[in-house]
Structure 1
Amino acid sequence: MNWIEAIVLGIFQGVAEFLPISSSGHLALLQRLFGITKGNLFFTEMLHFGTLISIIIVYFKDVKKIILEFLVLMADLIMRRKVDELTDHQKLGLLILSGSVPTAIIGITFEDFFESLYTSLIPIGIAFLFTGFLLWFAEKKGSEHKDIKKMSFLDSLIIGTFQGMAIIPGISRSGSTIVAGLLRGLKKPLTTEYSFLLALPATFGAFLLGIIKVIKGGDGVIVNMPLLVGISLSTIVGVVSIKALIKILNKNKLHYFSYYLWVVGTITIISQLI
């Protein structure tokens, strides 16, 4: 992994992980372009760790409150103290846990199938087109009326299922969860916050499994300056991308990404057919 590859991949990871254009799909395209081999899996996993840090930085206060208030809730239940009503952050914590269940089930059950899709760019191109359609449809059809108090566990399970399907390269994780949230009637601020916070357990779990797979597979685990630069860039660009997406969603411009994905998807498919 040279400096140019580290910089380009770090930037693209930070952008594509949070903007609804699919980081897995774009990394697959870039790795094919650079001729990156399996020996660089460790680098790819560490880039995902960088974007994990991005979410914690942007939502640090909320993450802190969720953890602290969730611990209070657990203590109340253990001590058999009556819980009259959940706080917003306690409910948000429970919704994140419930939403993570379908994601984990889908990821574990269909892991081999999802990995097989990386062998060809045509499925990735098709997935780009499909993601573009989802973004366009959700912004046209979505309605906003649910805050955290009205959000149900069924909402979290549906959004978690969409997140699980986003393991397919070319399907955007942030895009699919935001689409699901909008279609379920969540208000936009809650939709974006829940989408990114729901990514924490999924991204961290995938990161740990990826590192274990790298070590067991005998792939190179090399810590050097290009790696550190790549992680730093994915983190910094990730923070900027999260804040940018929040503004874009609030301005009802989510469908702009549809046009980009339709172009990239079409070019990807055509390039493999000619």
Structure 2
Amino acid sequence: MTALQAFLLGIIQGLTEFLPVSSSGHLEIGHELLGVEGHNNLLFAVVVHGATVLSTLVVFRKDILSLLKGLFAFQWNEETRYVSYLLLSAIPVGVLGVLFKDQVEALFTGNLVFVGAMLLVTALLLSFTYFAKSREKKIGWLDALIIGVAQAMAVMPGISRSGSTIATGLLLGKKREDMARFSFLMVLIPILGANFLDIVGGEISAESSIGVLPLAVGFVAAFVSGLLACSWMIKIVKKGKLIYFAAYCLLIGLIAIFAG
């Protein structure tokens, strides 16, 4: 992988991790267009995902510090309850990742037709939000679990994680701002958990096909673009502009299907 390829893939990861257009689907398309060999390189995936986690921590630093302060008060307060919702939402994708890891990884084969079809599913989900009416309901236990299932379904390349979780929350009648916050915070647990298991399990110890420079370039590109996309996406959700991303996913999905 060259530094230029790492730069482009880092930007794709950073932007599409937060925008509701599927980072996994766009990375699959990006790998095909750039002709990147060994695109299942786990080390690069861990690095760019770490960059987007860092961008999330920066954008939501005040919220995270507030949650940690409430959590370590060791009382059943609003912050502890919220963290519990986040943990509950991570269970479905955790179960899927542990029990069906090989089956999930088998989906990432550069099959553009499959990716395109899943992008159409994302477009459909985002379209539904156009008709959703916010009832200002707070997130509860059942909501957290349902949204967590939506996140688990987004392991398929082409289904947007942020798109599916935010759309599900809006369809459940949750406040737009609350759903943007919950959607971006809930991803921290599974990404950090998956990266930790990969490192501890030694699955990236043999990775040597990527040099230090491409990794550094990919990290910086993913972090900066992720920082911008995360802040931008919060404003987009508040204004209810997700229908435009539905049109985008529909277009890219159809192109991917016909190109495949």
TM-score, shorter chain, exceeding 0.5? yes
- CA shift, 1:215, in A, is 2.5
Distance 2:9 2:210 in 1: 16
Partner of 1:70: 71
1:110 aligned onto 2:111:
no
Partner of 1:6: 6
Kept in 2: contact 1:69–1:90 (CA 8 A) = yes
Residues 4-153 of structure 1: matches in 2 within 5 Å?
4-38=4-38, 40-73=41-74, 76=75, 86-87=77-78, 89-119=79-109, 120-147=111-138, 151-153=139-141
Tell me the amino acid that sits aligned with residue 145 of structure 1.
E
Q: Of residues 161, 164, 177 in structure 2, which corresponds to 1:173?
A: 161
Aligned residues with identical type, % of pairs: 37
- CA shift, 1:221, in A, is 6.8
1:195 aligned onto 2:195:
no
- SS of alignment partner, residue 265 of structure 1: helix
Distance 2:121 2:239 in 1: 23
- CA shift, 1:34, in A, is 2.1
Aligned length: 257
- SS of alignment partner, residue 20 of structure 2: coil
Tell me the amino acid that sits aligned with residue 102 of structure 1.
P
- CA shift, 1:142, in A, is 4.0
Distance 1:35 1:210 in 2: 25
Distance 2:254 2:28 in 1: 16
Kept in 2: contact 1:99–1:160 (CA 8 A) = yes
Kept in 1: contact 2:10–2:221 (CA 8 A) = yes
- CA shift, 1:115, in A, is 1.6
Distance 1:251 1:257 in 2: 13
Tell me the amino acid that sits aligned with residue 82 of structure 2.
L
Distance 1:107 1:144, change over 3 A: farther
Distance 1:142 1:113, change over 3 A: farther
Distance 1:213 1:134, change over 3 A: farther
- SS of alignment partner, residue 72 of structure 1: coil
- CA shift, 1:167, in A, is 0.5
Distance 2:204 2:238 in 1: 42
- CA shift, 1:222, in A, is 4.8
Kept in 2: contact 1:215–1:221 (CA 8 A) = no
CA deviation string 1:152-197 (max 9, x = no partner): 1000000011001101111111111101111111101110000000
* TM-score, scaled relative to structure 2: 0.93
Kept in 1: contact 2:134–2:176 (CA 8 A) = no
Distance 2:159 2:152 in 1: 10
Partner of 1:79: none
* TM-score, scaled relative to structure 1: 0.88
Kept in 2: contact 1:106–1:164 (CA 8 A) = yes
Tell me the amino acid that sits aligned with residue 62 of structure 2.
K
- SS of alignment partner, residue 208 of structure 2: coil
CA-atom RMSD, angstroms? 1.7
- CA shift, 1:223, in A, is 5.2
Distance 1:160 1:68 in 2: 24
Distance 1:144 1:221 in 2: 51
Partner of 2:204: 215
Question: Mean Cα displacement is larger for which, 240-249 or 113-122?
Answer: 113-122
CA deviation string 1:70-128 (max 9, x = no partner): 1222xx5xxxxxx5xx22x2221111011111221122223222222222221111000
Distance 1:213 1:265, change over 3 A: farther
- CA shift, 1:36, in A, is 2.0
Structure 2, unaligned stretches of length 5 or more? none
- SS of alignment partner, residue 137 of structure 2: coil
